[in-house]
Amino acid sequence: MNKRRLGLLTGTHAVNDLYQGLVPALLPFMVLERGYSYTAVSGLMLAATGLSSVVQPLVGLYADRHPRSWLVPTGFLVAALGVVLAGLSHSYLLTWIAIALCGLGIAAYHPPATVAARAAGGASQKAMSVFSVGGTIGASFAPMLAAAVVGGAGLAHSYLLGLPALAMGAVWLLSNAGRGSASGAASGSAGNAGAALLKPHNDWRAFGWLVATIVCWSIPYVTVLSMLSLRITRDLHGTGFQGAAALTGFTASGAAGVLLGGWLGDRIGRIGTIRAGYLFALPSLAGLVLAPSAGWALGCTALLGMSMFLPFAAQVTLAQDYLPRNPATASGITLGLALSVGGLVSPLLGMLSDARGLGVTFSAVLCVLAAATGLALRLRNRAAQAVVQMAGASGSLGSAQ
């Protein structure tokens, strides 16, 4: 394990996802300063999450065939540029385009950075979890950074939000950490090619149920991410600081949920972890819907973030075991689809919020989460025997050679 390089990549992940978190964190300030409606806000979330998640598998396809280490810094620098331009733009169309640019930068970052992190971490699952949590921690600081930079001085000072990306870009260049990512990608591709020789059976039906579960998970997730601050400040008469704190609590508890989910998965199994996450998330979201005060909502939000992310790692590995012949495809669909579907539906939920209020919208997504819980309860485990056999056969081929 190359701890130094893994630490650098974790830092870039934190900076990259900082900008992913800044998009929803800036939305309340845009509503106050520019008078955007809930529908307009949801359209911006569509630009940020929907396009990014759809483009990400295409970038991954390119990165697999043509490894390019420069995609890592380019990704988070383009994401930062999009956030800065969105804050400085006065037209809604230009703001939408800028946020879409941010989403494209985020999409360009993740595939090559994940390959590089896997090469740096070797066979360690802990290394990959640390890299993943780095992104969640970065996103958790976004609301506070937005409040500190934009809260007092207005969106005109959004250019200051680009400083973390510039600093990390300089660190990346000085460390020359991009060396070896191409070789790591090449060796990974060779391993996958050797493994494909066995062609184990894909369980597309079980994978379809898992995808349906994740789709129903993504809608409440994106809705809470984009509407939580407005729910706290407008419906529950909380302060702007409480609205930002709620977003921070949601993302920070999500990071804790990822780590806790990995620990639980080793002890009670993947299916038990997935079911526990959904079963705990349901009353947490219900508490947010019925919250009588901002303080009550803050507590429910923290529990909701942890519960929703308990199944995160387990769902990815389960998807790969459902499709052992196409593990990259399984990962791309589960990770990319999760945010894209929620982003595509968010404008409709924004229209519902404009017409009936945020309380009705949160009640609607509670029903969607209940459907996700029902789907999660019918998921069944699939042993990783095919994957183990693939790895063993690949090793045998290497020994024979």
Please state whether 199 falls in left (phi above 0), alpha (psi between -120 and 50) or beta. Answer: left
User: Domain 1-195, what fold?
Assistant: Growth Hormone; Chain: A; (1.20.1250)
Q: What is the pLDDT of residues 8-30, one digit of tens each?
A: 988 999 999 899 889 988 988 88
Closest CA to 310 of 366, 270, 267: 270
**Where along the chain do its domains lie?**
1-195, 201-401
First to last CA, the chain: 25
Contact between residue 99 and residue 109 where contact means Cβ atoms under 8 Å apart:
no
| More confident position, 181 or 201 | 201
Closest CA to 181 of 228, 230, 120, 222: 120
| More confident position, 72 or 383 | 72
- pLDDT of residue 94 exceeding 90, the answer is yes
Contact between residue 288 and residue 349 where contact means Cβ atoms under 8 Å apart:
no
> Cα(343)–Cα(350) distance, rounded to whole angstroms?
11
> Cα(393)–Cα(385) distance, rounded to whole angstroms?
12
Asked if the domains 1-195 and 201-401 are classified in one and the same CATH topology, the answer is: yes
Average pLDDT for 73-85: 94
For residue 145, the surrounding DSSP H or E stretch is helix 125-150
Give the range among 23-37, 105-119, 193-207, 223-237 with minimum mean pLDDT.
Answer: 193-207
- pLDDT of residue 281 exceeding 80, the answer is yes
Average pLDDT for 86-91: 90
What's the pLDDT score for residue 230? Answer: 85
* Residue that is written with structure tokens 């029903």 in the block: 367
Q: Is 179 exposed, middle or buried (0-12, 13-18, 19+ CB in 10 A)?
A: exposed
> Cα(103)–Cα(23) distance, rounded to whole angstroms?
9
> Cα(32)–Cα(23) distance, rounded to whole angstroms?
15
Burial 248-280 (b: 16+ CB within 10 A, else e): bbbbbbbbbbbbbbbebbeeeebbebbbbbbeb
What's the pLDDT score for residue 390? Answer: 37
- pLDDT of residue 169 exceeding 90, the answer is yes
**Mean pLDDT of all residues in the chain?**
80
Percent of the chain that is helix, strand, coil (3-state, to 5): 85, 0, 15
pTM: 0.68
* Residue that is written with structure tokens 């359209």 in the block: 43
User: Domain 201-401, what fold?
Assistant: Growth Hormone; Chain: A; (1.20.1250)
